[in-house]
Amino acid sequence: MNTLPFFPSPKQLGWLKAAIFVLALLPFVRMVWLTAAGQLVEPLEFITRGTGDWTLYFLCITLAVTPLRRLSKWNWLIRLRRMLGLFVFFYAALHFTTFLWFDHFFDVAEMWADVLKRPFITVGFIAFVPLIALAATSSNAMVRRLGGKRWQYLHRLVYVIAPLAILHFWWMKAGKHNFAQPILFGLIVALLLGIRVYWRYVKSTAGKPA
Ligand code: HEM
């Protein structure tokens, strides 16, 4: 397959990373700005939903890095993955914090009861917990400490997190009989995970007699 030759220098990659960092913060800045300016009719709902949406968008963007890298042969894309993954955690942590703050005023016992009472929130919470482990082990020092293989196994938790995130979204929207977006994101996540499973299958069967 023909690919576009694009190999940024270390300096260009540094600028690209800085630009992505600023762009990734824009949704957060916009949420804070609109809330502070008093321009929102339902600020709490806007922030809870906005942070949930951006968690899902960054999850999809992060999952797209490896397939894009393999298909384009732009190996440098991998250098962006950690930052993008940390933005998944950033927006998920904000999403959780807004829930704990605005819905329960930091009453952890009351929040916990709500998490257990509403299944879509239970699922969101179960998706969030392993995300903490992935963020906590994202540094080079942690890769060295765990060892490459163990680190890779741990980070395969994303195969659990992503479907749970879709289920959380689906369940929430099901209450409103609004399935268009969960179906769209479900298909995107299925494609991004499915292509990895397919490549692993091809690799494991390569060279075996038919
Ligand atoms: C990987 C983790 C998570 C993802 C990807 C995620 C994603 C989402 C998305 C996309 C929405 C819908 C936004 C919309 O309507 O446009 C949402 C709503 C919501 N999520 Fe999450 N979420 C996650 C974790 C959590 C956690 C940990 C909690 C709380 C314990 C939570 C509580 C909620 C609540 C309360 C809503 C809003 C429901 C409403 O406004 O009626 N989520 N989430």
Q: How far is CA 106 from the centre of its chain?
A: 25
pTM for this entry: 0.94
**Residues in the chain, total:** 210
Torsion of CA 168, 170, 174, 180, to 10 degrees: 150
CA-wise closest residue to 103 among 91, 118, 88? 118
The protein residue with its alpha carbon nearest to ligand 1, atom 43, reads 52
The protein residue with its alpha carbon nearest to ligand 1, atom 14, reads 49
Does ligand 1 lie within 6 Å of residue 56's CB atom? Answer: yes
How would you write the pLDDT of the chain (210 residues) with one tens digit per residue? 556 678 899 999 999 999 999 999 999 999 999 999 998 889 999 999 999 999 999 999 999 999 999 999 999 999 999 999 999 999 999 999 999 999 999 999 999 999 999 999 999 999 999 999 999 999 999 999 999 999 999 999 999 999 999 999 999 999 889 999 999 999 999 999 999 999 999 999 887 776
- Pocket perturbation via mutation, ligand 1, pick of 45, 46, 48 by most ligand atoms within 8 A of CB: 48
**CB-based contacts of 66: which residues, under 8 Å, 6+ apart?**
78, 81, 196
How many Å apart are CA 21 and CA 27, to the nearest integer?
11
Q: Pull the structure tokens for residue 146.
A: 């765990």
- Residue 33: count other Cβ atoms within 10 Å of its Cβ: 11
Tell me the CA–centroid distance for residue 163 and ligand 1, in Å: 14
How many Å apart are CA 157 and CA 144, to the nearest integer?
19
Q: Cβ(52)–Cβ(161) under 8 Å?
A: no
